[in-house]
């Protein structure tokens, strides 16, 4: 089974079907996007400090709640490393 076939089958998993029923797509897309915290400009000027500080667990869950679990997700096919984003 190639990657594309695997992803299509994965999208049919029972837990995904249940998840899709919890919120309508419009409800998910209306959720506000979580802003990625960044290191202050003064701190990163002249250094190699990572700019994006990462999300807390709660922020990550809130951001993941925006996913509409598309049947043919372009976020996966468009990902340069092909991460299977659930």
pLDDT at 46 over 80: yes
Q: Are 54 and 37 in contact (CB under 8 A)?
A: yes
Where along the chain do its domains lie? 3-77
Return the pLDDT at 11.
77
Overall average pLDDT of the 32-49 stretch: 89
CB atoms within 10 A of CB 19: 13
Whose CA is closest to 69, among 55, 54, 86, 44? 86
CA dist 67 → 1, 2, 14, 46 (Å): 26, 24, 17, 37
3-state secondary structure of 9: helix
Return the pLDDT at 70.
74
d(CA 70, CA 44) in angstroms, rounded, equals 37
Could you read off the pLDDT of 7-25 as tens digits, one per residue?
A: 778 778 888 778 778 878 7
pLDDT classification of 85: cutoffs 50, 70, 90: low
């Amino acid at each position: 089974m190639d990657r594309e076939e695997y992803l299509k089958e994965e999208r049919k998993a029972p837990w995904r079907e249940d998840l899709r029923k919890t919120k309508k797509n419009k409800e998910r897309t209306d959720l506000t996007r979580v802003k990625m915290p960044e290191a202050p400009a003064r701190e990163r000027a002249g250094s190699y400090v990572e700019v994006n500080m990462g999300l807390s667990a709660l922020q990550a869950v809130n951001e993941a709640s925006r996913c509409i679990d598309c049947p043919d997700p372009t976020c996966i096919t468009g990902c340069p490393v092909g991460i299977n984003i659930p």
